[in-house]
Structure formats: structure tokens, C-alpha cells
Amino acid sequence: MPRGAPGVGSGHTLVICEKPDAARRVSEALSGGAYRSELVDGTTAYRFSRGGEDFVVCSAQGHVYGVSDPSDERTVYPVFDVEWYSSDLVDKDSAGAARRISAIKKLAAGASRFVNACDFDVEGETIGYNVLRYACGGKEEEALRAKFSTLTEEDLVQAFGDLKPQGTKGLALAGRARHAIDFVWGVNLSRALSQAALGSGHRYRTVSVGRVQGPTLGFLVQREREIREFVPVPHWKVSGVFERDGRKFTAGYSVDRVETKAAAEGVRDDCAGREATAKSVRRSLAQVGPPVPFSVGDLQKEAYRAFGYTPSRTLQMAERLYLGALISYPRTGSQKLPASINYRNILAGVGRIPEYSAHAAEILKAEPRPVQGSKSDPAHPAIHPTGDRPRRALDASEANVFDLVVKRFLAAFGPSARRELVDVALAVGEHEFRLAGGRTVFPGWMKYYGRYAGYRDVELPPVSEGDRFRVVEVRVEERFEQRPPRYNQSSLLEKMEKEGIGTKATRADIIATLVGRGYVAGEGMEVTELGFSVVETMARYAPSIISTQLTRGIEKELEAVEGGAGGEAALMRETVRSLARQLADLNANEEAVGKEIDSAQMTTAAKSSVLGRCPVCRTGELRMIRSRKTKKRFVGCSNYASGCRASAPLPQRGVVRTTSKECERCRWPVVYILGTGRPWRLCVNPDCPGRKRR
Amino acid sequence: MKCPLCGREAEGELCAYHAAAKGAVEAAYPRWARAFGRIDWKDYLDSVKRNPQTGQWAKEIAEFLRG
């Protein structure tokens, strides 16, 4: 597109989008590609005419306004008065916000009409509201709203042909209230804890406890305690190997878990040398309905199951696909696909992509009707493909998430699958063994969902009642209860959803913050000493901070504000009152709080430098050490003074995270290197045979 | 007073975490004894210590009680 000379013009309609890609797509769709782009203070704006009207489209590029403390003091608390500022004054990662605001101000001057085209959700409404209020000179009331769930030409043209008055102020007010509450919460507690730790300790490090972060860390600590205190109790699993017509198969004992060794061995002894009879053969047909359409949480869980992607990575991929107009808006809680999205059009579009064409065509043979889930979202439908083809090559992660979204969408239109289940009861005297099999006799939706469907066939030999079998062997295996699993990013997200804390837009970031702050470490999200200490300290001196109840209550109030019930000022006042009480308690115990946090910081730092047991001397620990001379980091043994010379170089870039795992080939510790692109595993042994092979 | 196993503050002999783990180790003993018919207390502690499913604090307690 031609790049024109900068100019501000007048009498135009100014359209505010949330992201630059969205601004370009809106311009393409409304102008049919006939737009001019120009740089205003380094921000790209698009100009075109439509129906005799001049349009200028620009983007905020996320939050250009943020909440902060009006005073310049960064260590003083409590802080209960907050103001909205240009984001670059609030957040070091938002450099450039002032320039974008300046550009929007210039573009707003002389505009006769304003359209908020930011994402239609709490965050988008908040961004649009703030830009209209502060950068456009108080136009938040009179602006119009373009509502769309996909960035396809069809949806955008329709949305701009049906602009509504900005009647969704509840979302913006709730968003602003959430930002203010979370700021007040976070800044006061972080300052209180960090100052306390600094007062009694070694060096300053930010210790934060956000409003949702606190209870979430509480869940992790509770689970970690259950794991660390766990004592497994033994039980026995009994199974039998049976033979008929030269064919052997294994059946489980009817009691899944035999509580005593004597009872288990009794079964084995009773069955030895005897015959089994097929006492009953039950065949049944089970209908397995299609999976419901994806909400963002469902997509994050499924992508974790299918590809091991963290929730934040999945969301990032989904947002890229949305901005590429390939899928609908991903931050949705809905599991419903309304007919208004035009199933036939989307299926026809998806059908033009070769790998989906056969299945899409099959669905289109009848009237397409998808299964619907129970959750709804007033702003957006469930995540679905738009029917557009990728215009650029997708990277592997994007392609995976896109494939998952498309196949889930197709699966929603599929008929129920049918599985034949067979349950055979084999009697040996008074004992009974059960043989279970199952196979898919009609794949239905499973065919469309492909490898994500996850059902396996277990074929059984033909068996009739009364058939006799030789008991070849009865096995008795000692088993132990399994300790509870640690949360992973997906199951933690599920827990947050279930407990009603955080929002679909913020949960993944909160989990990432817990990792970033050093409260949890490693693949399995193991709570560090610091994580324990923060929760212990809060539980002792300010228990409401980690209370799910308080956070959930605030979420409920915010939902009411979103729905237009108002009350945001009262909610803010109540939050401040509650926080002030907790801060006073923390303050009264500052010395004790500081000591606990500082000591935990030291322990966590010391532990995070231990990579594992030294495979050379077998008594020392391999540690990450920084050379005083070269300032470079390397691995050395704690028994260096006793003569162990085990050492290894380490990458100098990125964060080294311990894994408590040993290399299968050489038994040296394995670490994770983060922050240099995709995280990667590294055996620290420079002579590892595995390394040489690669 | 400090917990001899982890250095955390302890109200009694152990910190709250190790005290809870001690409770869990002691509570599981009758279940182990019933499961195996009988098991000596020291053999039980050794088995708990060796078991890969045993939690870290429970292992430390088993070792502590074994002396």
C-alpha cells in the first residue's frame, strides 16, 4: 500500500483498534485494500474513504494507560490513591506509549466521529475507554462501538455497518476497577514485604503477592505439603493369565486393590491348577458424544494434553492466529457456537484447506448443527476457525494450535461415536476375574477430531458364557499408593477456574509470574522455600491475602460491575479498608516478616545453584558458580577443596534452572536453559556421549 | 527453637511441617502392619525411607525416628 505524507485532516471518523495487525485488517476490510498508511509520531495510521466518509484507523498497541501511585516515592506504603498515567511512566516494558498517545491525540484532533474497535472484552473495553477519555478529549461517552469476534472481511464489514452506541461501559468500569484494585493490592504488599526483607537482610529483591497470585500460591503450597508429608500404604494387585484354544490373555481380579498380602496370596493359592469358567459375558454399546466447542480454558488444557504447551504459550499462539484472521477471538469463556457465525460458510472455507476438505464436505452433506457446551460468554462465541486459509506459513506451534481448533470445530458437528464394550466375568471357585475390552464400531466425531480423540481399542477373543479356560498363572504384585501429583500449568489453571479466581485473560500470566518470582521451580512446579515462606508469612500475619474467599468475593463484585450494576467505587473503598487492616498487621510484625522472607530468599538462592550430585566424587554437589575473575558462570563440585576437579562450562546467556534429573547416559545433572528462545534441556557434562551424538 | 531437620522455627521438637509428617508416618504404621501381617517398627521406617512414593519430609522423619 502507498505510504502517504503525514497529515491529520479533519471531519474524519477515527477508529481505535487494540493492536496494529487489527488496525491493518480493519483498514483492508473496509477499504477493499484501497488505503494509505502513514506514520504519525512513529505510529502507523491508515486512511481511506468509504461511502463518502473519511476514515483514519490507528491502534493503541495494548494498554497505553496504566494505574500508578501519584507520588514519586517507590518505597513508601500504604498507597491508596491511584491515578491513570501514560503506561511508559508506569511500566518499563511499555516504552513508546507516550509516542502512541501523542499520535492518537494528533489523529483525534478534528475527528468528527470516534469508533472503539478494540477487542470486545474487559481489557479491550478498558483500553478503548481510556484512549477515548484521555487521548481523544473525553469522547468515551459519545463514541460508537464496533463489535466483532473475528477479523475476517465479512465480520468487520458487518460490524462497521452496524455500529452501536458505546453502551457497554460496565466492562470498562469493571476493567478500570480491576486494574486499580490489583495495583493497590500488589504495590502495598510488595512494598511491605520487600521493605521488611530488606530491613533484616542481604539484598533487595521484589517479593510480590498479587490479589490472585496469593491464593494461587496457596493452592500450590497446600499440594506441596500433601506431597512432602505423604506416606504410601501398600496394597496388592492380583491378575490372572488364562488360556483357551492356545490363546492366552490377562484378566484383572474383581477387587482392584487387595488390602493385605495374605489375602492376595490366598487368591493365588486358591486358583492354582484350577479351571476358570466364563460366568457372564456382557456386551454393551456406549454412545460417546462429541467434545464441546473450545473456551479459552478448554483450548489451553487440550493443547497442554496434546502438545505439552503451557497455557500462556497456547494463548499467545491463539492470539497470533486471531490477528491473522484464522480463528475467532480466543479470550472467550463460551462453549457455544451460535448459528449467527454461519456454520456453512466456515465449513466451506475450512473445506478449501486440503487436509480438512473431506471431513468438511461430509459435514456439509446434511444441515450442520454443532454440539453446545454449558458455558456462555455474552461477548464472544466459542473459539472456532474463520474459514480463511493461512496467508503465510505458520510456525510449528501455530500450526498445531490451528489444527487443534479446526479439528475441534469439525468434531463438534460430528455424530456421537459408538463403542462396543465387552465385560467378561471369569469365575475360579469363589474368585472372580474381569476381562474388559472395547472398540470403536462407529467413529462419528472421532474421525474429525483425529489423533486428539484419545480412545484406544482393546480387542478381546470371542467368548461365550460357560466357556472354560485353563488358569496359567495368578500374579500378585505389591503396589503402593501414589502420592498426589504436583500441579502442572494446565491443572493449576483448571483449579483457578474452578475456584473462581482470576479471569480468562489473566490466569496464564499469573502462573507465569509465580515462576518468574521464584516461588515455584522446575518442570513440576515445585514450591521453593521462598514460595513456602511467602504463604506462611501471609497465613500468620495477614491471612486474608491468601484467602480464596476474599479474592472470589472481589471477582463476583467485579462481574456485577461488568454487567452494569455499578458499585465500583464502593468496591474500591471496601478493598482499601480490608487491605489497610492486613497491612497494619504486617507492619506491626515487620521484623519477624523480614527475617522469614530474607532467610527463605537465601535458602532458595542457595538451592537453585545446586544442580545435583557430583558423578565424579559421588559425595559432593555440582553447583553453579560464577568466576570472580572472569565473571563467567560454570559448574564445579562442592568437594573442590578435597580434590574433586569435576567442572563444566555453562551457557553464559539465559537463565539456568535446575531439574533434579540426571542424564540417562552419563548421570551428570540436566538443566533447563530459559530465556534464549525456546527453553532447552542440557546435560552439563561437556563429554556426554549424548551430546557428541547430536 | 529450631527444627533439627530443616532449621525452621519449631514450637515443640519439630517444625509444623515435620510434625505433620511425623503424624503421617506414625498413622501409616498400623496400616502397614495390617497389610503385611506384621512389620517391625524399624523395618517399617526403613521401608518408608526407601519408598520412592514417600514425600521428602516423611522420608526425613523416617530417618530421624530410625536414629
pLDDT at A4 over 60: no
The yes-or-no answer on residue A329 being catalytic is yes
Angle at A18 between CA A17 and CA A24, to 5 degrees: 55
Lowest average pLDDT, out of A19-28, A473-482, A613-622, goes to: A613-622
Rounded to two decimals, the ipTM of the complex is 0.98
Reported as a pLDDT band with limits 50, 70 and 90, residue A3 is very low
The set of residues, in sequence order, having a beta carbon less than 8 Å from that of A355 and lying 6+ positions away, is none
Q: Supply the pLDDT for residue A678.
A: 67
Measured in degrees and rounded to the nearest 5, phi and psi for residue A587 equal: -60, -40
The answer to whether B28 contacts A480, with C-beta atoms less than 8 Å apart, is no
Flag whether residue B25 sits within 8 Å of chain A, measured between CB atoms: yes
Higher-confidence residue of A623 and A407: namely: A407
pLDDT at A7 over 60: no
pLDDT above 70 covers a percentage of chain A that reads 94
Alpha carbon A279 to chain centroid, angstroms: 49
The answer to whether B58 contacts A227, with C-beta atoms less than 8 Å apart, is no
Search chain A and give the residue with CA nearest B30: A233
Q: How far is A231 from chain B (nearest CA, A)?
A: 5
Task: Specify the amino acid at residue A286.
Answer: A
For residue B32, list chain A residues with Cβ-Cβ distance below 8 A: 233-234
Search chain A and give the residue with CA nearest B35: A260
Please tell me which of the candidates A228, A234, A483 has its beta carbon nearest to residue B32: A234
- The pTM score is 0.75
Domains and CATH numbers, chain A: 13-167 (3.40.50.140), 175-226+489-602 (1.10.460.10), 234-288+417-480 (2.70.20.10), 296-412 (1.10.290.10), 614-693 (no CATH)
Search chain A and give the residue with CA nearest B27: A231
pLDDT above 90 covers a percentage of chain A that reads 53
Reported as a pLDDT band with limits 50, 70 and 90, residue A618 is confident
The answer to whether A262 contacts B24, with C-beta atoms less than 8 Å apart, is no
Which of A7-21, A32-46, A551-565, A645-659 reaches the highest mean pLDDT?
A: A32-46
Q: How far is A603 from chain B (nearest CA, A)?
A: 11
Buried b (16+ CB within 10 A) or exposed e, A400-434: bbbbbbbbbbbbbbbbebbbbebebbbebeebbbb
Between CA A512 and CA A514 the distance in angstroms is 5
Please tell me which of the candidates B31, B36, B55 has its beta carbon nearest to residue A229: B55
What value does the mean pLDDT take over residues A502-517? 85
Search chain A and give the residue with CA nearest B25: A231
The answer to whether B58 contacts A230, with C-beta atoms less than 8 Å apart, is yes
Q: Supply the pLDDT for residue A206.
A: 67
Q: Supply the pLDDT for residue A506.
A: 83
Catalytic residue among A35, A329, A343, A356: A329
Flag whether residue B28 sits within 8 Å of chain A, measured between CB atoms: yes
Between CA A63 and CA A54 the distance in angstroms is 26
Reported as a pLDDT band with limits 50, 70 and 90, residue A299 is very high
Q: Supply the pLDDT for residue A664.
A: 85
Q: Supply the pLDDT for residue A129.
A: 94
The answer to whether A261 contacts B28, with C-beta atoms less than 8 Å apart, is no
pLDDT at A264 over 90: yes
For residue range A98-120, list pLDDT tens digits in order: 899 999 999 999 899 999 999 98
The answer to whether A233 contacts B37, with C-beta atoms less than 8 Å apart, is no
What value does the mean pLDDT take over residues A131-141? 93
Q: Supply the pLDDT for residue A65.
A: 92
Residue A322 and residue A329 in contact, taking contact as beta carbons nearer than 8 Å: yes
Q: Supply the pLDDT for residue A201.
A: 57
Lowest average pLDDT, out of A302-311, A350-359, A568-577, A599-608, goes to: A599-608
Between CA A300 and CA A303 the distance in angstroms is 5
Residues of chain B with pLDDT under 70: none
Flag whether residue B41 sits within 8 Å of chain A, measured between CB atoms: no
Flag whether residue A480 sits within 8 Å of chain B, measured between CB atoms: yes
pLDDT at A496 over 80: yes
* Number of neighbouring beta carbons within 10 Å of residue A339: 10
Alpha carbon A450 to chain centroid, angstroms: 23
Between CA A308 and CA A177 the distance in angstroms is 35
Q: What is the mean pLDDT of chain A?
A: 88
Buried b (16+ CB within 10 A) or exposed e, A543-560: eebbbbebbebbbebbeb
Search chain B and give the residue with CA nearest A533: B8
HEC-encoded secondary structure of A329-363:
CCCCCCCCCCHHHCHHHHHHHHHCCHHHHHHHHHH
The residue extents of the domains of chain B are 16-66
Q: Supply the pLDDT for residue A186.
A: 86
Number of CB pairs, chain A paired with chain B, less than 8 A apart: 60
For residue B45, list chain A residues with Cβ-Cβ distance below 8 A: none
For residue B15, list chain A residues with Cβ-Cβ distance below 8 A: none
Flag whether residue B38 sits within 8 Å of chain A, measured between CB atoms: no
